[in-house]
Amino acid sequence: MASTTRYLPAFFFGLLLALSSCSIAPSEKRIHFVGQAQGTYYSIIYYAEDTIVYQHEIDSLLRAFDQVASIYQPNSIISKVNRNEISEVTDPWFTEIFNLAMRISEETGGAFDITVGPLVNAWGFGFRNKLDMDQQKVDSLLQFVGFKGIRLEENSIVKDHPNTQIDFNAIAKGYSIDVIGDFFHQRGIRNFLVDIGGEILARGAKSGNQQWVVGIEQPSDEPTSERVLKAMVNVNDIAMATSGNYRRFYEVDGVKYAHTIDPKTGYPVIHSLLSATVFADSVGKADAYATAFMVMGLEKSREFLESNDHLEGFLIYSDETGEIKTFATEGVEKMINRR
Ligand code: AMP
Ligand code: MG
């Protein structure tokens, strides 16, 4: 049974396919299952002599994860922290996501910030209906926003202001894929591909010891349009996530409002950067940086990628004439499938 939790809506960016066939060794089988989690699809492929991991185990793992990190589950740890019902948190997933989020907030100068929750809701991208927004409302909510206003001390969440709330949506999907990856490792599986809504962890190889082939979606003006791939990459071991402003947005009087919020201004960001795909050493990190890049925009993201060797990226943007352009770091250039 798949989780029906809505972390993100059923639109997903990023990519999608693992084009694979044949087998790794004659005795190894390709095992593939698909399901739903976090408001989107998942697709998992692995190679093993026999079924070692069952789909119900993955579903339980994802359900347990939601009980920690989903703001859509009223009884999750994050929801209780947001309602100030608990302050002590010992759960290792929560602690790790929280600490990683804080680190990436520092590194990105606050572009990534899990305290944007109240603004996400007010702008109509959370679990509440959109408010009529004006500068006064934005200012009143901005008082509670800022990653420096919340800390994990020992095992206690300390908030400067009780109205401060956290939202793991920009990092949790990626992190949950890392959790599944660890689970596969513990079971001794070395060749697998986990895809949740276009965020991917690939390890080893697919059939015939070939590289996995993964696609990056071409942004579109139509939120529900069919997916068209902009690029394909050939990979063995990757952790990849994409953020984009082209599927989750609404339009009022010709102005587009997208679901990434600039934590400094309190407004949704829309600029020439249409999507950011990041490759890192974990999907949780890739997920968080990809969201940060959507806030930072094209130039800052390029600079950030160029000065951070541990990251690779693929940015899709529209130039002054509206033409779609791309920027790929050297590492991604090497992976791009030009056949
Ligand atoms: P993603 O699809 O990973 O880019 O995550 C987008 C989601 O993260 C939004 O729907 C919000 O719930 C949340 N979010 C929006 N802006 C930010 C931000 N600047 N930092 C962290 N999370 C954000
Ligand atoms: Mg993200």
The span from the CA of 313 to the CA of 62, in Å, is 27
CA–centroid distance, 146 to ligand 1, in Å, is 14
For the Cβ of 43 lying below 6 angstroms from any atom of ligand 1, the answer is no
Distance 113 CA to ligand 2 centre (A): 11
- Which ligand is closest to the CA of 168, given by its number? 1
Give the per-residue pLDDT at 294: 95
Angle of the 283-306 helix axis to the 169-186 helix axis, nearest 10: 120
For residues 150 and 131, give the distance between their C-alpha atoms in angstroms, rounded to a whole number: 25
| Any ligand 1 atom below 6 A from CB of 295 | yes
108 alpha carbon, closest ligand: 1
DSSP H helices in 220-260: none
Residue located nearest, by CA, to atom 1 of ligand 1 = 170
Task: Give me the residues paired with residue 326 across strands.
Answer: 316
Of 79, 128, 167, 285, the one to substitute when testing ligand 1's pocket (max ligand atoms within 8 A of C-beta) is 167
CA-to-CA distance for 189 and 191, rounded, in angstroms? 6
Query: What pLDDT tens digit does each residue of the chain (339 aa) get?
Result: 333 233 322 233 333 444 333 346 768 899 999 999 988 999 999 999 999 999 999 999 999 999 999 999 999 999 999 999 999 999 999 999 999 999 999 999 999 999 999 999 888 876 566 667 889 999 999 999 999 999 999 999 999 999 999 999 999 999 999 999 999 999 999 999 999 999 999 999 888 788 999 988 877 766 566 667 888 898 889 999 999 876 555 666 666 567 899 999 999 887 789 999 999 999 999 999 999 999 999 999 999 999 999 999 999 998 888 888 999 999 999 998 876
| 26-35: b (≥16 Cβ within 10 Å) or e | eeeebbebeb
Cβ of 120 closer than 6 Å to ligand 1, yes or no, is yes
Token pair 């509440």 is found at 128
> Token pair 């974990």 is at which residue?
282
Q: What count of other Cβ atoms lies within 10 Å of the Cβ of residue 174?
A: 29
**How far, in Å, are 77, 171, 182, 238 from residue 93 at the CA level?**
10, 12, 12, 21
Q: 296, 269 in Cβ contact below 8 A?
A: no
Q: How far is the CA of 325 from the centre of ligand 1 (A)?
A: 24
Residue 65 host element (H or E): helix 55-69
Residue identified by tokens 């339009």 is: 251
pLDDT of 17: 40
Contact between 117 and 167 under an 8 Å Cβ cutoff? The reply is: yes
Q: Calculate the CA 287 to chain-centre distance.
A: 4
> Is the CB of residue 141 below 6 angstroms from any atom belonging to ligand 1?
no
Cβ of residue 263 lying under 6 Å from some atom of ligand 1:
yes
Residues 305, 264: contact at Cβ < 8 Å?
A: no
> What pLDDT sits at residue 134?
87
Residue 189: C-alpha distances to residues 28, 96, 259 (Å) = 11, 24, 36
Nearest to 70 by CA among 127, 144, 141: 127
CA distance 60 to 187: 16
Q: Ligand 2 is a single-atom ion; what residues have CB below 5 A from it?
A: 170, 243, 287, 290-291
Q: Is the CB of 247 under 6 A from ligand 1?
A: no
Q: If residue 242 lies in a helix (H) or strand (E), which one and from where to where? A: strand 238-244
Cα separations in angstroms, 308 against 217, 278, 290, 312? 24, 12, 14, 8
Q: DSSP of 25-51, one letter per residue?
A: STTPEEEEEEEEETTEEEEEEEEESS-
Determine whether the shortest distance from the Cβ of 169 to ligand 1 is under 6 A: yes
Would you say the CB of residue 199 lies under 6 angstroms from ligand 1? no
pTM comes to: 0.90
The identity of residue 59, as a single letter, is D
DSSP 8-state symbol, 99: H
**Could you tell me the distance, in angstroms and rounded to a whole number, from the CA of residue 27 to the centre of ligand 1?**
43
DSSP reduced 3-state for 253: coil
- Separation of CA 191 and ligand 1 centre (Å): 31
Pocket of ligand 1 contains residue 243 by CB under 6 Å: yes
